[in-house]
A and B are shown apart, each in its own frame.
Chain A
Amino acid sequence: MTALDVQDLTVDFAQRGRVPFRAVDRVSFSLHAGRTLALVGESGSGKSTVVRALSRLVAPTAGEVRLGGARRTRGKEYRRAVQMVFQDPFASLNPAHTVGHHLIRPLLVGGRARRGADAEEKARELLRSVNLTPADDMAHKRPHELSGGQRQRVAIARALAPGPEVLLADEPVSMLDVSIRLEILGLLDRLKDERGLALLYVTHDLATARHFASEVMVMYRGEIVERGPSDEVILAPRHPYTQTLAAAAPSSAAGRERARAARAERLAARAGRDAERREAVVGDGCRFRPRCPYAMDVCTRRPPETEVGPGHRSLCWLRTDTNDSVVGFSA
């Protein structure tokens, strides 16, 4: 069941005295109940702006965002249905308030509980659902008394309080210690199953994206450059950018000799190009062109989105023509 449908979402940011900066460019996707979609990209790719537009913190310039079914998409109903978890658990809780306050307010605002004992009991239930026990003690603590992982659990509980159908998680574990990350991702995964949430997992980490999401979208400078089933996209990437990303991820299982060989290969591949070009800005056409090892003349025009496998699409000129088998993509 489609929980949220996004069509041609575009976000421009005004720049003083210059043309607006397009942070998100015609992005379309849908989120489905009980499934996780990962949005992968580096900083500046626009992935956080997508989340902010969906949570109505920034106004989209163009495009449509609709809740599943024939429901109203404006105002209160949308606020209740779409919630988000922020990246930094140290900034997302108000130092002036108790954990209980953080849960009771959204419960009351969303009309999920009555003021008083009812709200308190529901807040304790939320705390238990994110494994913050004893819930009574936790409700009275202030953020500075909690560890990063505990804070992120509170933030997740707060996002659950209005009873959302869509949960947007913006790099929910990147600020946490390594040993805690999987616990939090596991918690999100469990809550998704239990509550039938449609989860958008925004991350720069390909490995967790693959493990926790059924589908992956890769974003580069405001555009979705590749999307498809997570194993397809990450193990057999078609877009040169996704290939670069996958090659850059550390792989402890690959073994040191292979890592060394891969490094020599990367250095050799890069030696030909100069460092400046990789930092350059592009106008029209494929945005990855200046960094792309396979850049061709045709890349100055905007590439089409092409089906490269079942449900697997790539925004690239390569392989758009069946005769054009210039590059072997075997991963």
Chain B
Amino acid sequence: MTDDVVLRAEHISVTYEGERPTHAVRDVGFELRRGELLGIAGESGCGKSTLAYAVARMLGPPARLIGGRVLYRDRTGAETDLLALEGDALRAFRWSRLSVVFQSAMNALNPVTTVGRQFDDIFRAHRPRMRRPERYERARALLDMVGIDPARVRAYPHELSGGMRQRVVIAMALALEPEIVIMDEPTTALDVVVQREILDEVQRLRDDLGFSVVFITHDLSLLLEISDRLAVMYAGSIVEYGPAERIAADPAHPYTQGLLRSFPDLAGERRALRGIPGSPPDLRDALPGCPFAARCDHAFEPCGTETPTLVPLAPGLAPGTSAACHLHAVAGLLPEGRQP
């Protein structure tokens, strides 16, 4: 584990139990570097949220973590195995080292108490030595930090607009200055303009405070713009992983190419637009071969039988990028439509 890595997940597998178990996450690993914004992109049901919750140890039945390891490395270099944490140690770790921002702010806020009291609860639980005036001042400072009038500490959640609530939730997630913040579609429920304001805010805070972000969304075009590195998930696996700039310019996996094509560019030339035909496979079935093969324009002989693994691409071709695609395993066999 190199020095700048703060979180490292290895071989994570999660299954939703039921009559026919759903293998939602299949042997996935990633690294989060200090201060980095790692994007996880994918469509509904690809396992991106499940993966994040597994890392944050927030899975509940019927979801079950069936394998893997998550290592956290603090500033001194000491490593902790998150999956071994239990009880108080786990609770202390969550929120003060790692916090989560959910999609629906209304569900994350308690509707019957004021915003200020909810900050108070966090401090009382995690910083028992803090005095009352101190807690109050800190809550006001946090609200101010996310662009909300500090006087709003006395407001109830329903008195705030959707965008302001999401800001409050972000402020709460940052209350204990965590090193890692996981954001699960934090702006999906919001309008474009408000979404943009919040994204700007998140990036500014990240620049100021230096925490790392795992940002999960289905909106690949958004991630290409805001994230440093990017993991594209499909059918429970990461199919492409690398610097966002690199992926934006030259996506290696046919699925990433298809997803990119699916976002018409606002100012781009008008052209015939097409998405990706077909739909994702049923994750309850065994998937022989590449899960994307059925929808892939470039599928060839091994795709139906052998599951491709995530391997680094030739350095000259795409430095730092990995892809799980047979096209790249066979030298010289690159899809023609590489340049979007």
Contacts and interface: CB of A to CB of B under 8 A. Distances in A.
B248 A179 contact: no
A182 B273 contact: yes
Nearest to B144: A275
B130 interface: no
Interface stretch (B117-125, B262-270, B325-333): B262-270
B149 A180 contact: no
A178 B266 contact: no
Contacts of A1: none
A256 B277 contact: no
B175 to A, nearest CB: 19
A179 B267 contact: no
Contacts of B261: 182
Interface string B80-92: 0000000000000
B44 interface: yes
A235 B267 contact: yes
Interface stretch (B15-23, B59-67, B194-202, B283-291): B194-202
A109 to B, nearest CB: 31
Of listed A180, A245, A279, residue having the most chain B CB within 10 A = A180
Contacts of B245: 256
A266 interface: yes
B274 interface: yes
Contacts of A250: 219, 221-222, 224-225, 263
Contact of A42 (B191, B203, B226, B279): B191
Contacts of B274: 182-183, 186
Contact of B265 (A43, A251, A259, A266): A251
A245 B192 contact: yes
A144 to B, nearest CB: 13
A263 B200 contact: yes
Contact of B258 (A150, A179, A253): A179
B147 interface: yes
B161 A183 contact: no
Contact of A177 (B44, B147, B195, B204): B44
B193 A42 contact: yes
B196 A248 contact: yes
B177 interface: no
Nearest to A259: B225
Interface in A170-225: 177-183, 185-186, 204, 206-208, 210-211
Q: Sort chain A's interface into a size bin.
A: 35 or more
Given A186-B273, A244-B193, A253 B268 contact: yes
A246 interface: yes
Contacts of A207: 263-266
B266 to A, nearest CB: 5
A256 B196 CA distance: 15
Contact of B192 (A178, A249, A254): A249
B218 interface: yes
B164 interface: yes
A203 B169 CA distance: 28
B249 to A, nearest CB: 9
Given A179-B258, A211-B270, A248 B192 contact: yes
Of listed B192, B203, B259, B274, residue having the most chain A CB within 10 A = B192
A127 to B, nearest CB: 17
B202 to A, nearest CB: 11
A177 B43 CA distance: 6
Contact of A179 (B164, B203, B276): B276
B292 to A, nearest CB: 10
Given A179-B276, A244-B193, A251 B266 contact: yes
B148 interface: yes
B238 interface: no
Given A178-B218, A244-B193, A275-B147, A206 B275 contact: no
Interface string A140-172: 000000010110000000000000000000000
A234 interface: yes
Given A183-B277, A186-B274, A252-B263, A276 B44 contact: no
Nearest to A177: B43
A274 B147 CA distance: 8
A252 B204 CA distance: 20
A275 B148 contact: yes
Contacts of B273: 182, 185-186, 211
B247 to A, nearest CB: 10
B275 A276 contact: no
A210 B275 contact: no
25 contacts: A178-B219, A178-B263, A179-B43, A179-B258, A180-B275, A180-B276, A182-B261, A182-B264, A183-B275, A185-B273, A207-B265, A208-B264, A211-B270, A235-B267, A246-B266, A249-B266, A250-B219, A251-B221, A251-B266, A251-B267, A256-B225, A259-B225, A263-B203, A275-B147, A279-B161
Given A147-B279, A234-B266, 12 more contacts: A43-B191, A178-B275, A179-B259, A182-B274, A182-B275, A183-B276, A207-B266, A250-B222, A250-B263, A267-B200, A270-B147, A275-B149
Shortest beta-carbon contacts, A-B, top 7: A182-B275, A248-B196, A179-B276, A42-B191, A177-B43, A250-B221, A147-B279
